[in-house]
């Protein structure tokens, strides 16, 4: 039996085994019950309720506006659709930046109210104490370094990170610090493939890349992006696996035509 099939429920331990066996870890985002159920049934390992829901679900320009209550509302719907995948929840902007105690309180609230298995938060050295506090109290934390969208106003653009030696060294150091603080996995976003390779081979915990090349232990994409449901956002790291926006457009146009001309509903579709 393959390593993935042996796993009946994806846990932090299962992810460690996948890394050791060099079996790639797969991850996608979901914000609702039906999408989560479809991803889980297809065999995805990690479902992230990303704060990208601020962009792709709520229509905001950045991830900053989404709240704790909104993350919890969406995660409750997601966990109902999942049997096998590990559900990880993004801690929204300002739910952990005030310090370790506040971060721990909010992480605890997320797990208690949603049935998710882990939280994710952005940053390296500056959040190490918070990661330590949360993990020491039994809540798994996924780190997220490189391009961290909650800091977009400080970065000034969504350009890749870690392209200078100084910044690459800082990101590498952050990765080591997060592992030391107890993180069970790290998202590496939009950094050079060579840096992601160095981090991946230096850590015992798995790395999950997005725009970080092929050497990471796993990959994550935002589901509406990879299904081409959200066609306004197409950076080069997003591969389109479907054409959902144009499929939906075609389907809705056909429905409009059928209703207008009276061919829907038919006799068979009536009572
Ligand atoms: O919010 C999100 O969807 C994420 C992924 C892009 C990693 O953080």
- Residue 120 near residue 143 (C-beta atoms within 8 A): yes
Quickly count: other Cβ atoms within 10 Å of residue 33's Cβ: 16
pTM of the model: 0.97
Domain spans, the chain: 3-240, 244-271
For residues 137-153, give the mean pLDDT: 98
The finding on whether 210 has its CB within 6 A of some atom of ligand 1 is yes
Q: Three-state DSSP class for 184?
A: coil
**Closest atom, ligand 1, to C-alpha of 208:** 7
Residue bearing the CA closest to ligand 1, atom 3: 50
Tens digits of per-residue pLDDT, 70-83?
999 999 999 999 99
Residue 108 phi, psi (nearest 5)? -60, -40
CATH 3.20.20.60 applies to domain 3-240: yes
Span 96-132, pLDDT tens digits: 999 999 999 999 999 999 999 999 999 999 999 999 9
Which residues fall within 8 angstroms of residue 207, CB to CB, at 6 or more apart? Answer: 175, 185, 186, 187, 188, 196, 199, 200, 216, 217, 218
Q: How many CA atoms lie within 13 A of 136 on its CB side?
A: 12
**DSSP assignment of 187-217, as one string?**
EEES--HHHHHHHHHH-SS-EEEESS-TTSS
pLDDT single digits (tens) 151-199: 999 999 999 999 999 999 999 999 999 999 999 999 999 999 999 999 9
How does the average pLDDT of the chain come out, rounded?
97
Catalytic sites, residue numbers: 189
SS3 call for 158: coil
Q: What is the pLDDT of residue 6?
A: 76
């Amino acid at each position: 039996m393959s390593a993935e099939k042996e796993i009946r429920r994806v846990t932090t331990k299962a992810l460690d085994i996948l890394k050791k066996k060099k079996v790639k870890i797969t991850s996608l985002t979901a914000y609702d019950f039906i999408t989560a159920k479809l991803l889980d049934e297809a065999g995805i390992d990690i479902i992230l309720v990303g704060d990208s829901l601020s962009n792709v679900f709520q229509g905001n320009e950045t991830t900053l506006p989404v709240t704790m209550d909104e993350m919890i509302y969406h995660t409750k719907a997601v966990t109902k659709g999942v049997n096998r995948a590990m559900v990880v929840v993004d801690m929204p902007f300002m739910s952990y930046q005030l310090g370790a105690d506040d971060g721990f309180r909010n992480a605890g609230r997320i797990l208690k109210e949603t049935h998710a298995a882990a939280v994710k938060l952005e940053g390296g050295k500056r959040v190490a104490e918070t990661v330590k506090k949360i993990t020491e109290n039994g809540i798994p934390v996924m780190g997220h370094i490189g391009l961290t969208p909650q800091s977009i106003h400080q970065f000034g653009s969504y350009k890749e990170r870690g392209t200078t030696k100084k910044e690459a060294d800082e990101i590498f150091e952050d990765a080591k610090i997060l592992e030391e603080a107890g993180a069970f996995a790290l998202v590496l976003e939009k950094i050079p493939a060579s840096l992601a390779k160095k981090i991946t081979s230096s850590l015992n915990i798995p790395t999950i890349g997005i725009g970080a090349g092929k050497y990471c232990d796993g990959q994550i994409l935002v589901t509406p992006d990879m299904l081409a449901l959200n066609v306004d956002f197409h950076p080069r790291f997003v591969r389109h696996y479907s054409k959902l926006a144009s499929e939906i457009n075609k389907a809705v146009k056909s429905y409009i035509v059928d209703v207008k001309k009276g061919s829907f509903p038919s006799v068979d579709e009536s009572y």
